[in-house]
C-alpha cells in the first residue's frame, strides 16, 4: 500500500484531563507558563504563577470545568474528536484515498509528539498543521508553531511541513458563520435586537507591539455583518476573558452587556467567532456568566449562538483549507 500523500494535524489550545484542581493546576501551569501567553520576565512572573495563581485559581476553574464537562470529557476535546473524524472522512471522500487526520493540543493531551508518531505510523511524510484559530495571535497560533518546533527537536527525520497561519477572511469561514446565525434566527423565530460578536481578548500591549489579532477580528466582524446585511447599529464586537490587571483589548464583553442591560435592551444574540469549538470560555463564561451580567442589569433575552463545532459547513471550510494548502503534494 502506498503512503498517503499527506497527513493533517489539527491543533487546538488544550484542556485539563479532568475537572479536578490537580488536573487544572497541571494544565494552567503549562499554559500560563508559556512566554507567548504571558510575556512578563520569567523572574517576575514565575514566582507569581507558582506562588499565587496556581495555589488560588485551580479550585475555582475546576468547578467551572465541572459545570460543562461531558461523558466524553471536556467540550473542547469531545468536539475536537468529532471534527477530526468528520474531516478525515470528508478528505477520503473528496480525494479518493485515506488521508490521516489527528488531533493535537498545544497544552496538555494529546501531545504533539504523540500525534506526530501516530501520523508517521500511518505513513504520512508530509504534514499540514492546521491550528483551529481563525484569527492569528502570538498567544495562540504562534504558540502552536513554537510547541511544534520543540516537539520536532529530538526527531532524526523531519517530515515536510506546511502551516496554516490564519483564515479570518476565508469566504467559506464567513459563509459558515453567517449560516450559523441565520439558522439560529430561524430556530428562534426572530432576530435579537443586536448581534454581539465576542472574541477572546489579548493584552493591549501585544497589539501595540504588532500582533495582527485585533485587525483580523475587525475584518471578520465586518465581513460577517455584511454577509448578514446588518446595519451599523445592529451589531458590535467586543473582547472577553481578560486576565490580570493589565489593559486588554476593548471594548470588553462584560461591560458592554452590562451597559446594554441597563439600557433595557430587549434581546441580544451572541456569537464568538474566534472559537472553532465550544469550550469553557463560551459555555461557562459567555453563555452563563455574561448572560447573568446582561439580565441582572435589566436586559431581556440573551441567546448564545454555538461555535461552528462539527457543523457540515465548518467541515467544508476545514476541507477547503486542507486542499488549498496541500497543493503539489
Measure the CA–CA gap between 49 and 57, rounded to whole angstroms.
10
End-to-end CA distance of the chain: 17
Residue 232 in marked binding region: no
Residue 113 in marked binding region: no
Alpha carbon 107 to chain centroid distance?
13
> Coil, strand or helix: which one is 35?
coil
Task: Provide Rg for the chain, Cα atoms.
Answer: 20
Measure the CA–CA gap between 212 and 186, rounded to whole angstroms.
34
100: left (phi over 0), alpha (psi -120 to 50) or beta: beta
Measured on CA atoms in the order 34, 37, 42, 44, is the torsion positive or negative? negative
Q: Which residue carries 508553531 as its cell?
A: 145
Measured on CA atoms in the order 276, 279, 280, 285, is the torsion positive or negative? positive
**Residue 280, C-alpha cell as written in the block:** 469553557
Measure the CA–CA gap between 260 and 34, rounded to whole angstroms.
36
Measure the CA–CA gap between 166 and 321, rounded to whole angstroms.
10
* DSSP-assigned letter for residue 297: T
User: Residue 56, exposed/middle/buried by CB under 10 A (0-12, 13-18, 19+)?
Assistant: exposed
127: left (phi over 0), alpha (psi -120 to 50) or beta: beta
CA-wise closest residue to 88 among 78, 73, 103? 103
Q: Which residues are annotated as a binding site for Fe(2+)?
A: 200, 281
Q: Which residues are annotated as a binding site?
A: 200, 281
Amino acid at each position: 500500500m502506498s503512503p498517503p500523500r499527506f497527513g493533517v494535524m489539527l491543533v487546538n489550545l488544550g484542556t485539563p484531563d479532568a475537572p479536578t484542581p490537580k488536573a487544572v493546576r497541571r494544565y494552567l501551569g503549562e499554559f500560563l507558563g508559556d512566554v507567548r501567553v504571558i510575556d512578563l520576565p520569567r523572574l517576575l512572573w514565575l514566582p507569581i504563577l507558582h506562588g499565587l495563581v496556581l495555589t488560588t485559581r485551580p479550585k475555582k476553574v475546576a468547578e467551572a470545568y465541572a459545570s460543562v464537562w461531558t461523558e466524553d470529557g471536556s467540550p473542547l476535546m469531545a468536539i475536537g474528536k468529532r471534527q477530526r473524524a468528520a474531516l478525515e472522512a470528508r478528505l477520503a471522500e473528496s480525494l479518493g484515498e485515506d488521508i490521516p487526520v489527528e488531533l493535537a493540543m498545544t497544552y496538555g493531551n494529546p501531545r504533539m509528539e504523540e500525534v506526530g508518531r501516530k501520523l508517521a505510523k500511518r505513513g504520512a511524510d508530509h504534514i499540514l498543521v492546521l491550528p483551529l484559530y481563525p484569527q492569528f495571535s502570538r498567544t495562540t497560533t504562534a504558540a502552536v508553531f513554537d510547541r511544534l518546533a520543540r516537539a520536532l527537536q529530538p526527531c532524526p527525520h523531519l517530515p515536510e511541513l506546511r502551516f496554516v497561519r490564519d483564515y479570518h477572511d476565508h469566504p467559506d469561514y464567513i459563509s459558515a458563520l453567517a449560516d450559523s446565525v441565520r439558522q439560529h434566527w430561524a430556530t428562534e423565530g426572530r432576530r435579537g435586537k443586536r448581534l454581539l460578536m465576542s472574541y477572546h481578548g489579548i493584552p493591549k500591549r501585544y497589539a501595540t507591539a504588532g500582533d495582527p489579532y485585533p485587525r483580523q477580528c475587525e475584518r471578520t466582524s465586518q465581513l460577517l455583518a455584511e454577509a448578514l446585511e446588518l446595519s451599523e447599529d445592529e451589531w458590535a464586537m467586543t473582547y472577553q476573558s481578560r486576565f490580570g490587571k493589565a489593559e486588554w483589548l476593548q471594548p470588553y464583553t462584560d461591560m458592554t452587556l452590562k451597559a446594554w442591560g441597563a439600557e433595557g435592551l430587549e434581546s441580544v444574540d451572541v456569537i464568538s467567532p474566534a472559537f472553532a469549538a465550544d469550550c469553557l470560555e463560551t459555555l461557562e463564561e459567555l453563555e452563563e456568566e455574561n448572560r447573568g451580567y446582561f439580565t441582572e442589569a435589566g436586559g431581556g433575552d440573551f441567546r448564545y449562538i454555538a461555535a461552528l463545532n462539527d457543523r457540515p459547513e465548518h467541515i467544508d471550510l476545514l476541507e477547503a483549507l486542507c486542499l488549498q494548502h496541500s497543493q503539489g503534494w
